[in-house]
Every structure is written in structure tokens, then in C-alpha cells.
Amino acid sequence: MHTKKLVALAALGFAAIAIAWFIFSPQPEKYDDVAIDATSTGALSGQTYSNQDLGFEIGVPADWSADESHFSHDLGPGREIPGVAFRIPASFASGTNLSADSYIAVEELSEVECAPADFLYSPGTSSAKTLGRYTYRYATSVGAAAGNLYEQSVYATKKGNRCFALRYMIHSGNIANYPAGAVKAFDHQKLISLFDSIAATLKIY
């Protein structure tokens, strides 16, 4: 009888551990309702943006604007790339050398190799990176003109015959061109981390 009681107690213990593991362990499907955690980014609370035409949804900060008429012109005339750009609010760049036209965009092409070169002029060496559900091939390019810096990073991933890309566009002014003390250098790593947290919520239909 004593042995039966021990077996029963052990079974209950294992059941409790299994239930706790199921509740508290990370579950992939939890990405479905992810918005943006503002505590580490400085952004306001997030919301889920959905686009049925392009077939994706993504979590974005509530105060960022969605430009559904976005086209990337990086590859030149006749090679415009459609998508949706999510632009930072003016308050995010205020007092810094960051321009408020910086954004993260979701873009889409069909029947391409699905490499950063399909979206980015003169990309650097391509590497692999996982963000959220997907593993991407990514590359970065930097351009300069009239005291402005344009840093673009493209993360490309394939679904069927379609290629989706996340584009990080960071436009800033050369800090040396401002009067001393007029602005401070923006936090580049913080902005990249914010873009990464948004990118990690992407769900492609």
C-alpha cells in the first residue's frame, strides 16, 4: 500500500511539472499576437498591422505611420520595388542628427533569386540572420551625399515563388556639420534593436 501511494504521488508530481512546462515554456505560436515591447526601445505601445494584398502582418509602434504607397527606388528607374514603409515619428528623431524619414519597410518581389542584391544596389557581403520566425539573407550598403548618410540593410526570405524583404533605411546628417551642441548623435544601436524587434513579429501568409 505504501508503494502504491509513492507511485501515485510521483505521478502527480510529474503531471504538475509537465503542466508548468507547457504553460511557461516559450511557444512558437505566441508570435501570432506580438506587438512591440516598449520598455527597452522608447517607443509607445504597439499594434498589429495587416496587409492582405501583400500577404503579411507585423507588429509596429502605435505612433509610427504606415506608408502603403511606398516604393524603393534604390535599383533605379524601372526597377521600383513595392511595399509598405513604417516611418519613425518626428519625436523619435527630435534633437538628434537622425532624420524623421528613416523607416523599416516590408517589400515583395516574385520570381527572383531572393537575395539582398534583388533589393539593394551594390550590397556588401551577404550573411544569414534569424529574426522571429524566419531566417534571412541580409546585406548592408551605405551612401553619402551633401552631408547626409544613408544606411540601408535588407533582409530577404522566400515563401513559394515570392520573396519578402525587410528594409532598414537610416537617414542621418553628419554630426560634424551641425553647430556645436545643437544636436546629439542618435543612438544607432537602439534604433537597430527597435527595427529588429519589429522585424521579429513579421508573419507571411
DSSP 77-92: TT--EEEEEEEPPHHH
Lowest-confidence segment of 1-5, 35-39, 89-93, 104-108 by average pLDDT:
35-39
What kind of architecture, by CATH, is found in domain 33-204? 3-Layer(aba) Sandwich (3.40)
Cβ atoms 189, 197 nearer than 8 A: no
Q: Average pLDDT over the chain, rounded to whole?
A: 82
Say if residue 52's pLDDT is above 50: yes
Which tens digit of pLDDT belongs to each residue from 130-170? 999 999 999 999 998 889 999 999 999 999 999 999 999 99
Using CB atoms within 10 Å of the CB of residue 5, give its burial: 0 to 12 exposed, 13 to 18 middle, 19+ buried: exposed
pLDDT at res. 124? 81
Say if residue 17's pLDDT is above 70: no
Give the amino acid at 137: R
Q: If you average pLDDT over residues 180-188, what whole number do you get?
A: 94
Q: pTM for the whole thing?
A: 0.78
Cβ atoms 204, 56 nearer than 8 A: yes
Say if residue 28's pLDDT is above 70: no
Pairwise CA distance, residues 66 & 198, whole Å: 13
pLDDT at res. 7? 39
Per-residue pLDDT band for 46 (boundaries 50, 70, 90) equals: confident
